[in-house]
Amino acid sequence: MRIAAALTAVALSGALAGAGLAGTANAAPSDGAGALACSTTKISSKTARGWCSAGSAWRVGVKCTDGKHYYSGWETDARYQYATCGAGTITHYWIDR
């Protein structure tokens, strides 16, 4: 039962993160085998940093007070990516996959 509840929470957090409604995404299911572990952190008022385990394509996204969304490049390796507001400051940040 705990596994099913955890998977539901992971799926929900991934959906919210993809929609830009969550500040962080700790884990989201991958396209098949296992889970794609991800996290995001706001490192300044203009920049967010994200990381995901290797496997599926992902990127970091931010929404800024200028009303625009900014993204890092797409990545498939386990490494940090950054997204920075062109103008204004961050209102939301997430992992997009």
Give pTM, 2 decimals: 0.64
The whole domain housing 15 covers: 2-96
| pLDDT band at residue 84 under the 50/70/90 scheme | very high
Mean pLDDT taken over the chain: 76
| pLDDT band at residue 8 under the 50/70/90 scheme | very low
> How many domains, the chain?
1
Contacts 24+ apart (CB under 8 A), 22-30: 22/92, 22/94, 23/92, 23/93, 23/94, 24/93, 24/94, 25/94, 25/95, 28/95, 28/97, 30/55, 30/56
Answer yes or no: are the C-beta atoms of 26 and 35 closer than 8 Å: no
